[in-house]
């Protein structure tokens, strides 16, 4: 009985804190995404011919994000009935966007203004879904940071700046 | 020879590839630290970023990259292009971080 109550308290507590952390993280992500709106990022292997590019350097960034107790509990229930594990989806979304933002921050800090050939990789760090053991996903983002000259005379092609992803 | 060029594209802007030396690789296997793991298990209850793990993996990946680069330097290359990364968990609590690319001479 005591154990059941403890589990329930734990679930309630982590539901609140987990959601709080997630909401705060999303707020921060959105803020930073608008800040990096003008940074051109593509997953093209080569630079489009009309981009006057100079200098290139590999940049990498990573992030490890873990789930809270409540979300793992829900996911374990889901595994019985099947279907989308909704609680896992924002986790991966957050991690990916965070990794890309860090990559952009790194590139900008070093004076680059565009990233090409962006690649994302996902890996499981500790392969455990049981609530007691640590489990997290690592997202690695890497790409080539380049410097492009947008005010070049021979470029009358305007590079469209994409809207940031809104969620 | 000036700066060593590393890129994950097939070419380097403003440079031409004059010689290929073949594929270079670098890897490292890391296990996590007990202290870090205890901290992480706390974080694991409330969710959020595991900063210790992020740092650990970042360091390990840097190590893999530098091993790859030293192999390339040994060949006489001055750049590595088309770099790719891969991560695999070898055993419970240990991960292999692997980086590979093509060593080239650029001008």
Q: Given CA atoms B3, B8, B12, B18 in this order, what sign does their dihedral have?
A: positive
The alpha carbon of residue B105 is apart from the nearest alpha carbon of chain A, in Å, by: 15
Chain B stretch 8-27, residues whose beta carbon is closer than 8 A to a beta carbon of chain A: 8-14
Summarised one tens digit per residue, pLDDT across range A108-121 is 999 998 899 999 99
B47 touches chain A (CB under 8 A): yes
Helical (H) or strand (E) element with B42: helix B34-46
Burial class (CB in 10 A: 0-12, 13-18, 19+), A30: middle
| ipTM of the modeled complex | 0.80
Summarised one tens digit per residue, pLDDT across range B60-72 is 899 999 999 999 9
* Contact between chains at A62 and B57 (C-beta distance less than 8 A): yes
Residue of B2 and A26 predicted with greater confidence: A26
Right CATH number for A2-149 from 1.10.3720.10, 3.60.70.12, 3.30.110.70, 3.40.50.970? 3.30.110.70
| Segments making up each domain of chain B, as ranges | 5-106
Tell me what pLDDT residue B87 has: 86
Summarised one tens digit per residue, pLDDT across range A84-141 is 878 788 888 899 999 999 999 999 999 998 899 999 998 877 655 554 555 678 899 9
Quick one: closest CA in B to A132, which residue? B41
pLDDT at A152 over 70: no
Task: Find the CB nearest B45 among A47, A68, A127.
Answer: A68
* Contact between chains at A66 and B44 (C-beta distance less than 8 A): yes
- Look at residues B58, B18, B51, B26 and name the one whose alpha carbon lies nearest to residue B36: B51
| Segments making up each domain of chain A, as ranges | 2-149
pLDDT at B2 over 70: no
Percent with pLDDT over 70 in chain A: 81
Residue of A130 and A72 predicted with greater confidence: A72
Looking up tokens 């789930």, which residue turns up?
A67
The fold for domain B5-106 equals: Translation Initiation Factor IF3 (3.30.110)
The alpha carbon of residue B61 is apart from the nearest alpha carbon of chain A, in Å, by: 9
Chain B interface disruption, residue of A136, A142, A147, A149, most B CBs within 10 A: A136
Question: Which residues does A139 contact at the CB level (< 8 Å), separation at least 6?
Answer: A62, A63, A65, A92, A95, A96, A98, A99, A120, A121, A122
Residues in chain A within 8 Å Cβ distance of B88: 123
Question: Which residues does B38 contact at the CB level (< 8 Å), separation at least 6?
Answer: none
Which pLDDT band holds residue A45 (cuts at 50, 70, 90)?
confident
Residues in chain B within 8 Å Cβ distance of A67: 44, 47
Tell me what pLDDT residue B67 has: 94
pLDDT at B1 over 50: no
Exposure class string for A100-122: b at 16+ Cβ within 10 A, else e = bbbbbbbbeeeebbbbbbbeeee
Q: Given CA atoms A118, A65, A93, A34 in this order, what sign does their dihedral have?
A: negative
């Amino acid at each position: 009985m005591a154990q059941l109550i403890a589990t329930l308290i734990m679930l309630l507590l982590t539901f609140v804190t987990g959601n709080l952390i997630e909401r705060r993280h999303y707020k921060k992500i959105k803020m930073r995404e608008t800040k990096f709106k003008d940074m051109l990022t593509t997953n093209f292997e080569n630079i489009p011919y009309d981009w006057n590019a100079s200098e290139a350097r590999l940049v990498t960034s990573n992030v490890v994000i873990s789930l809270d107790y409540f979300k793992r509990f829900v996911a374990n229930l889901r595994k019985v009935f099947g279907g989308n594990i909704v609680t896992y989806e924002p986790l991966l979304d957050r991690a990916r966007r965070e990794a890309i933002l860090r990559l952009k921050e790194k590139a900008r800090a070093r004076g680059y203004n565009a990233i090409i050939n962006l690649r994302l990789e996902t890996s499981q760090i500790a392969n455990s879904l049981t609530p007691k053991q640590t489990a997290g996903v690592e997202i690695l983002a890497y790409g080539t940071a380049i410097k492009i000259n947008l005010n070049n005379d021979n470029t009358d092609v305007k590079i469209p700046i994409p809207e940031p992803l809104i969620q | 020879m000036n700066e060593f060029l590393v890129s994950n594209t097939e070419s380097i802007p403003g440079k031409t590839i004059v010689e290929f030396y073949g594929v270079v690789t670098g890897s490292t296997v890391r296990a996590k630290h007990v202290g870090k793991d205890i901290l992480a298990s706390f974080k694991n209850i409330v969710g959020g970023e595991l900063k210790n793990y992020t740092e650990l993996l970042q360091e390990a990946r840097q190590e893999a990259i530098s091993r790859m680069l030293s192999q390339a330097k040994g060949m006489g290359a001055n750049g590595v292009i088309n770099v790719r990364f891969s991560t695999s968990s070898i055993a419970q609590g240990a991960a292999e971080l692997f980086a590979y690319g093509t060593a080239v001479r650029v001008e």
